[in-house]
Amino acid sequence: MTGILGKFYVEYDLHGAKVTTRSQQLTSPCLSEEEIETSIQMLKDDLDACANEMKRLIKLNRAPLFAGWPTNLE
């Protein structure tokens, strides 16, 4: 299972969740401190979204498949 969030992919398989980049270049060229701050903040926001998606996928995987089955969720 793969989800695209900004410049990153969130992938989930039986080995767990992981984040990979969509490209090698993560920012456009920056000429000012404001551009740098904006570019880096966008990456941080994307990574936060990836973390939320990874946590959601982990919880979803631990949920029981059928109603009434015990759950591993804490």
What's the confidence (pLDDT) of residue 20?
A: 87
- What are the pLDDT digits (tens) for 7-54? 888 888 888 888 888 888 888 899 999 999 999 998 899 899 889 988
pLDDT at 63: 62
Among the listed residues 27, 8, 28, the one whose alpha carbon sits nearest the alpha carbon of residue 18: 8
User: In the prediction, which pLDDT does 38 show?
Assistant: 94
pTM (predicted TM-score): 0.69
Band of residue 60 on the pLDDT scale cut at 50, 70, 90: confident
**pLDDT at position 73 over 60:** no
Phi and psi at residue 69, to the nearest 5°: -75, 150
For 48, the token pair is 């936060």
Contact 64, 71 (CB under 8 A): yes
